[in-house]
Structure 1
Amino acid sequence: MTDQSPTLLFVYEPERACFDRLVAEGSPPTRAAEIASYLAQSTDIEPEFDAMAQACARRGLRFDPVTLDDAPQVLAGRDPERSLVWTITDGIAYFRGGAGPALARLNGLPTLGADDSLFALCQDKFRSGAVLRALGLPVPEAGLARNGEWLAEPPASASGYFVKPNRLGAKIGIFSDSRCHSLEHALDLSRRVFAAYRDDVVVQPYVAGRNVRTSFLAVQPEAGVEALGTFFVDSGGDFQTMEDSLALYGETGAEARAAGTYAEPELVPVAASQPLAAERIGASASRLMQALGLRDVFSMDFRVEADDTVHLIEFEVCPGLPCFDFRAYCQAQWGLGLAEAVAETAARRFSSRG
Structure 2
Amino acid sequence: MLQPTLILVYEPEKACLARLSADGYPADRALEISSYLAQSTDLAPEFDLLAAACEKRGLAFKPVELDDAAPVLAKADPTTLVWTLTDGIAYFRGGASPALARLNGLRTIGADDSLFALCQDKFRCGAVLGALGLPMPQAGLARNGEWLLEPPASPKGWFVKPNRLGAKIGIWPDSRIADLGHALELSRRVFSHYRDDVVVQPYVAGRNVRASFLGLKPETGVEALGIFFVDSGGDFQTMADSMALYGETGQAAKDAGTYVEPELEAVGASQPEADRKIRAIAQKLISGLGLKDVFSVDFRVEADDAVHLIEFEVCPGLPCFDFRDYCRREWGMNLADAMAQTAASRLRS
Sequence identity (%): 73
The Cα offsets for residues 230-282 of structure 1, whole Å up to 9 and x where unpaired, read as: 00000000000000000000000000000000000000000000000000000
Residue of structure 2 in register with 1:178 after alignment: 175
Residue of structure 2 in register with 1:33 after alignment: 31
Paired residue for 1:232, among 229, 234, 245? 229
Query: 1:49-198 to 2 correspondence within 5 Å?
Result: 49-80=47-78, 82-198=79-195
Residue of structure 1 in register with 2:348 after alignment: 351
Q: Please state how far the C-alpha of 1:200 moved relative to its aligned partner.
A: 0.3
| Partner-residue secondary structure (3-state), 1:248 | coil
> How many equivalent residue pairs?
349
* Counterpart code for 1:41: Q
1:23 correspondence with 2:48: no
* Counterpart code for 2:35: S
The Cα offsets for residues 113-165 of structure 1, whole Å up to 9 and x where unpaired, read as: 00000000000000000100100000001000000000011001100000000
Residue of structure 2 in register with 1:284 after alignment: 281
Paired residue for 1:253, among 250, 262, 279? 250
CA distance in 1, matches of 2:302, 2:115: 28
Paired residue for 2:4, among 3, 6, 29? 6
Moved over 4 A (4+): none
Q: What's the TM-score, normalizing by structure 1?
A: 0.98
Q: Please state how far the C-alpha of 1:13 moved relative to its aligned partner.
A: 0.4
Structure 2: tracts of 5 or more residues without a match? none
Residue of structure 2 in register with 1:294 after alignment: 291
1:217 correspondence with 2:217: no
Q: What's the TM-score, normalizing by structure 2?
A: 0.99
Paired residue for 1:271, among 260, 268, 273? 268
The Cα offsets for residues 203-255 of structure 1, whole Å up to 9 and x where unpaired, read as: 00000000000000001111010010000000000000000000000000000
CA distance in 2, matches of 1:68, 1:219: 25
| Partner-residue secondary structure (3-state), 2:129 | helix
* Counterpart code for 2:131: A
CA distance in 2, matches of 1:323, 1:44: 8
The Cα offsets for residues 165-219 of structure 1, whole Å up to 9 and x where unpaired, read as: 0000010100100000000001101011111000000000000000000000001
RMSD in angstroms over aligned alpha carbons? 0.7
* Counterpart code for 2:267: V
* Counterpart code for 1:15: E
Q: Please state how far the C-alpha of 1:4 moved relative to its aligned partner.
A: 2.6
Structure 1: tracts of 5 or more residues without a match? none
* Counterpart code for 1:316: E
